[in-house]
Amino acid sequence: MLHPAHTPLHAWRDDYWIPTGSAVNGFGVSAACHPASDVGGDFYAVLRAEGQRLAVLIGDACGKGARAARIAALIRLELPDLARSFEGPAPLLDQLNSRLYGQLADDAFATAACFELSADDQTLTVSNAGHVPLFVLRAASGQVFRVGRPSGPPLGMLHGVRYSKEQTRLWADDLLLLVTDGVLEALDDDPLGGRLAELVAAAPADAELVTKLVLDEVRRSTRPSSDDLSVMCVSLPQAPNRPNLLHAARVFAA
């Protein structure tokens, strides 16, 4: 069930961030955010890189309402400077954690996942600070698998954390799905997102359609949602002469 308030994630856009729902360096990008109240703590950023590359950050500040929004605002202030010196997902999380530590209350933190995607060498690099792992839809088979399990605690909790990276190979037409845990809560899903993975497995590899599919399923849910929820999809450039087909397969691979 969705809260009636709707705040587009790209409301935070500035010169470093890209509007969603359009082609970005050949990738399709779509996102939506529904705060649990008038303001919320979910955040995201899409960084434009040279060539067919994207770097994406999604996160979720602890708590709800104004408290979570204040944490997200601190992160927002740090992102433009970190974007200019971006060297990869793990260094970005390392630096963001260092900047947040000491600025937050002892019980405050934010989960985050960052990935860099290269269409040229078909490589996905992910680092995760206590966030929900990414889901990858393999367009050719309909298989869905998780990538980027947490390699450290949420941001702002411990000083000197060094996050590790995880890499995997992607193919043309594959799609990445990122969510905050509010989506899993609204779907009454397990912590690993088994129901969400099954939902996405039969979808076309189209970022806007998958975003809509997930939000429509949340709307149909009878479970009241007490958390902010955000969905972001990135689709790889489509291979020549390959139609964007629905898949019969519904496979979840650990």
CATH class of the domain whose range is 9-253 = alpha beta
- Each residue of 123-152: pLDDT tens digit? 999 999 999 999 999 888 888 999 999 999
Domain ranges of the chain: 9-253
Backbone angles phi, psi at 241, to 5 degrees: 65, 20
Q: What is the pLDDT of residue 223?
A: 72
Instruction: Check whether 13 has a pLDDT greater than 50.
Output: no
Least confident of 68-82, 147-161, 203-217: 203-217
Q: Give CA separation, 179 vs 100, 125, 139, 225, 251, in Å.
A: 22, 17, 19, 14, 19
Structure tokens at 199: 């939902």
Instruction: Check whether 201 has a pLDDT greater than 70.
Output: yes
Three-point CA angle 47, 116, 195, nearest 5°? 105
Q: Mean pLDDT, to the nearest integer, of 154-171?
A: 95
Q: Mean pLDDT, to the nearest integer, of 28-35?
A: 85
Q: Are 184 and 132 in contact (CB under 8 A)?
A: yes
Tell me the pTM. 0.83
Q: Mean pLDDT, to the nearest integer, of 59-84?
A: 90
Rounded distance, CA 131 to CA 111, Å?
Answer: 5
Instruction: Check whether 2 has a pLDDT greater than 70.
Output: no
Instruction: Check whether 155 has a pLDDT greater than 70.
Output: yes
Per-position DSSP letters for 68-115, written without gaps between them: HHHHHHHHHHHHHHHHHT---HHHHHHHHHHHHTTTS-TT--EEEEEE
Instruction: Check whether 30 has a pLDDT greater than 50.
Output: yes
Least confident of 39-43, 182-186, 240-244, 250-254: 250-254
Instruction: Check whether 17 has a pLDDT greater than 60.
Output: no
pLDDT, mean over the chain: 81
Q: Are 206 and 244 in contact (CB under 8 A)?
A: yes
Instruction: Check whether 211 has a pLDDT greater than 50.
Output: yes
Q: Are 147 and 166 in contact (CB under 8 A)?
A: yes
Structural element, H or E, at residue 53: strand 53-61
Q: Are 40 and 229 in contact (CB under 8 A)?
A: no
244 pLDDT band, cuts 50/70/90, is: very low
Q: Which residue has better confidence, 188 or 164?
A: 164
Instruction: Check whether 219 has a pLDDT greater than 90.
Output: no
Which of 72, 97, 94, 83 lies closest to 9, judged by CA? Answer: 72
Q: Which residue has better confidence, 243 or 111?
A: 111
Instruction: Check whether 37 has a pLDDT greater than 80.
Output: no
- Residues 6+ away with beta carbon under 8 Å from 107: 62
Q: What is the pLDDT of residue 48?
A: 63
Instruction: Check whether 28 has a pLDDT greater than 70.
Output: yes
Q: Are 82 and 43 in contact (CB under 8 A)?
A: no
Q: Are 36 and 64 in contact (CB under 8 A)?
A: yes
Q: Are 202 and 142 in contact (CB under 8 A)?
A: yes
